[in-house]
Amino acid sequence: MRFYKEIVFFVSLFFYLSCYSHPGISADKKDVYLIGRDDVLDITVWQSPDLTKPVTVGSDGYFEYPILGRIKAEGLSPQELEKALYEKLAQGYVKEPKVSVAVKEYNSKKILVFGEVAKPGLYKLKGEMPLLELLFMVGGVNRDAKRMTVIRTADLSANATPAGLLPGSVKGEEELDSSSAAMEVNLIALLSKGDLSQNIMILPGDTIYVSSGTGEKYYVLGQVRKPGPYEWVQEISVLEAIKLAEGLTERAAAGRIKMRRQRGGDVKLNMTAIMKGKKKDDVMVRSGDTIIVPESWI
């Protein structure tokens, strides 16, 4: 399976086809942005230049504002903050104030993307984002990308910190603490087969790692020139698997090959007949299967 940076074009097509509808998420919910720490806000009060200024939300969720002092912003939408400022300014400070609040810099919601992507790094989100849109934003995946792990912290607040930025980087599901969980995304199914069930929503605080391995294996043992475990990427035939193991040795009993299924019973194969053209007798190798090539009795 080959993945190129040109997959960006493929990803963008899927995004435009899929981003308008995401089950369980209403349009209203997606459009509401909740202010968080480090966000920069533009506050405008009509005909009040002293009250029109940018402010930065502090680490405590508040910002300093003329006349009114400390104002809580964390967890509020811009519209809710507008209403709160209006009510406070209308209490004898400004007659019928016209207040608007806009987010100038979205600094509170971050994700970390690294591994086999064109542009790894720290990214800012306004809110939830479909995975395909994220792949478009990071320039697509590299040629060798096959596997994606999304590490999600239990903290789903506006200020969730990606697990990859916390002390002690997360390298695998076995190392996750109780506040994090790992989700596997089948990149091959998503990008090659168009399986949109893999187009999960990315949330602020997520850490996304794209690797070159699938994490799945099959085994070719016995009388082959290169026995051992092999990475399973997609279904291949037993004949193809033996070719990847550099073929049979001179002592191989090609007519008595056995494939032991991880799920299901053993399958007996006559590789001599298959190599002579009986391709219909060949079978497909799945993840976890073991091909055993015995030694000839002669």
- pLDDT bin (cut points 50, 70, 90) of residue 77 is very high
Same domain, residue pair 186 and 119: yes
**CATH number of domain containing 90:** 3.30.1950.10
Number of H helices, E strands in the chain: 7, 19
pLDDT value of residue 201: 93
pLDDT value of residue 5: 43
| pLDDT tens-digit map of 180-203 | 678 888 888 888 888 999 999 998
Same domain, residue pair 131 and 96: no
Specify if 268 maps to a domain: yes
CB 288 within 8 Å of CB 262: yes
Tell me what the mean pLDDT of segment 244-260 comes to: 91
How many structural domains is the chain composed of? 3
CB 32 within 8 Å of CB 173: no
Specify if 199 maps to a domain: yes
In three-state form (DSSP H/G/I as H, E/B as E, the rest C), the secondary structure along 141-161 is ECCCCCEEEEEEECCCCCCCC
Alpha-carbon gap, residue 153 to 41, rounded angstroms: 27
CB 102 within 8 Å of CB 41: yes
Burial class (CB in 10 A: 0-12, 13-18, 19+), 69: exposed
Question: Shortest CA distance to 161 belongs to which of 25, 38, 30?
Answer: 38
For residue 272, what are the CA distances in angstroms to 184, 228, 257? Answer: 39, 22, 10
Residues 6+ apart with CB under 8 A from 91: none
Specify if 288 maps to a domain: yes
Q: DSSP for 159-221?
A: TPPPGGGSSS---SGGG--TTEEEEEEEHIIIIIS--GGG-PEE-TT-EEEEES--S-EEEEE
Same domain, residue pair 13 and 136: yes
Alpha-carbon gap, residue 71 to 277, rounded angstroms: 79
Same domain, residue pair 99 and 112: no
pLDDT value of residue 25: 33
pLDDT value of residue 288: 85
Alpha-carbon gap, residue 123 to 113, rounded angstroms: 8
pLDDT value of residue 14: 47
Specify if 2 maps to a domain: no
* ∠ Cα 132 11 129 (to 5°): 15
Specify if 298 maps to a domain: no
Specify if 99 maps to a domain: yes
Same domain, residue pair 13 and 126: yes
Same domain, residue pair 245 and 131: no
Which of 105, 120, 140 is a domain's end point? 105
Q: Count CA atoms within 13 Å of residue 133 on its CB side.
A: 17
Same domain, residue pair 150 and 204: yes
pTM of the model: 0.57
**CATH number of domain containing 176:** 3.10.560.10
pLDDT value of residue 19: 43
| pLDDT tens-digit map of 118-157 | 999 999 888 889 999 999 999 999 887 878 889 887 766 6
Which of 185, 211, 237 is a domain's end point? 211
Alpha-carbon gap, residue 283 to 64, rounded angstroms: 70
pLDDT value of residue 248: 92
pLDDT value of residue 205: 87
For 252, the domain range is 217-293
Specify if 18 maps to a domain: yes
Same domain, residue pair 116 and 198: yes
Same domain, residue pair 121 and 132: yes
pLDDT value of residue 265: 78
Same domain, residue pair 178 and 152: yes
Strands 99-105, 236-237: pairing kind:
unpaired
Which of 82, 105, 128 is a domain's end point? 105
Specify if 284 maps to a domain: yes
Same domain, residue pair 114 and 166: yes
Same domain, residue pair 18 and 150: yes
Alpha-carbon gap, residue 209 to 37, rounded angstroms: 25
* Structure-model confidence comparison of residues 11 and 159, the more confident one: 159
